[in-house]
Amino acid sequence: MNSQRIFVAGSKGMVGSAIIRKLEQDQTCEIITASKQELNLTDQASVNAFFKKNRVDQIYLAAAKVGGIGANLQYPADFIYQNLMIQSNVINAAHCNDVQKLLFLGSSCIYPKFSQQPIDETELLTGHLEPTNEPYAIAKIAGIKMCESYNRQYERDYRSVMPTNLYGIHDNFHPKNSHVIPALIRRIHEAKLANLKDVEIWGTGKPLREFLYVDDMAEACVHIQNLELSTYQHHINPMLSHINIGTNDEVSILQLANVIKDVVGYSGQLIFDSTQPDGTLRKLLNSQKINKLGWQPQIGLKQGLKITYDWFLENENQLRQI
C-alpha cells in the first residue's frame, strides 16, 4: 500500500507541530510541510501551484492568524482577512487537485456569546458573537461552511473540529498578542525574576474557561481524520459537520492564575484590573460527541502547565526576542 502523503498547513505553529508529532508515530505517513517563506497561504496562485506540484492525500488545515483579546481588538482586519484567505485558498485548491480528505481546525469562539452551557454543536449561528473576537470567529464559521458546502456539492470528505482554548509547547508567548495561558506564564515568570510584589492581570478573574493541552488536541484531530466515513457520518449531520473538542472541565481565570503562580514558584500577589475586558464569561464545550467516537483527553491542567513552563524555560532566551 502506498504511504499517505499528508500536508500539515501551519506546521510551525503550536497545533501544527503537535499534529506532526502525532503523525510521526505512524510510519506509513509521508508528512509534507511548507514554511511561510516557502508558501504564502494567503496567495491563491501560490497555493494552487503548490498543490499542482505536490501530490497530497490528506490535509490538516491548522494554519491561522491567532491571538488573545488584545490582538483581536487591535488587528480585526488582519484577523478576518488572513484567516478567510488561508482557508479559502487551501480548501478550494484541495478540491481542484482532487484531495478527498481534509480536516479544518476552528475555535470555540465561533459560538454565540450567550450560548446555552455546555455549548452543543447545534448552538452555531443561533445568536450574537462575542464582540472582542467577532472578525476571527466569522472567518472560522466561514471555514466550517466551506467544508460543508464542498461535501454537499462535490461529495468531499472535509471535516471540521472546534477545539476549546489550547495551550502547550510552541505556544505564542508574545507579551501583548498571546492567549491567556502563555501571557500569564511569561508575566508571572518575569515578575518572579524581578522580585515584583504583585502582577497585574486583565479583567476580574471571574470568567470560566476550559483548557486543553495541545498534544491531546493533536490526538483528537488524527482520531477524527482516521474514522471510517460511515462511522463519522453516523454521528454527524451533513448540515452541521463540526465536532467540539474539549475536556468537559472549566476553571476561573483567578484559579488558573493561581495554578500558574504555583507552577512558576512566584510568591507575590495577583492584582486584577477590572477596567479591562473579560470577554465571554463562560464557554464550556459539550464534547460528548467526540467522547462517544472514542477519544478522551489524557493530560490534566497542572501537568500540562508544568510541561509548558519547562519548555518556556528551555526556550526563554529565544522567546525574549519577541
Q: What pLDDT digit, counting tens, does each position of 4-42 carry?
A: 999 999 999 999 999 999 999 988 899 999 999 999 999
What span, in angstroms and rounded, lies between the C-alpha atoms of 46 and 5?
19
Q: Is 108 annotated as a binding residue?
A: yes
**Residue spans of beta strands (DSSP E) within 81-233:** 101-105, 157-163, 165-167, 198-202, 208-209, 211-213
Q: Is 227 annotated as a binding residue?
A: no
What span, in angstroms and rounded, lies between the C-alpha atoms of 45 and 37?
15
**pLDDT per position as a tens digit, 245-293:** 999 999 999 999 999 999 999 999 999 999 988 877 888 999 999 999 9
Q: Confirm if 304 and 259 have CB atoms less than 8 A apart.
A: no
Q: Is 14 annotated as a binding residue?
A: yes
State residue 84's pLDDT score.
Answer: 98
Sorted by where each begins, the domain ranges of the chain are 4-319
- Peptide bond preceding 238: is omega within 30 degrees of 0, i.e. cis? no
- Across the range 164-170, mean pLDDT stands at 95
Query: Residue 270: phi, psi to the nearest 5?
Result: -105, 125
State residue 310's pLDDT score.
Answer: 97
Q: Is 107 annotated as a binding residue?
A: yes
pTM equals 0.91
Our CA angle for 68, 221, 99, nearest 5°, is: 110
- Percent with pLDDT over 90 in the chain: 80
What fold, for 4-319? Answer: Rossmann fold (3.40.50)
What are the residue numbers of the active site?
136
State residue 316's pLDDT score.
Answer: 83
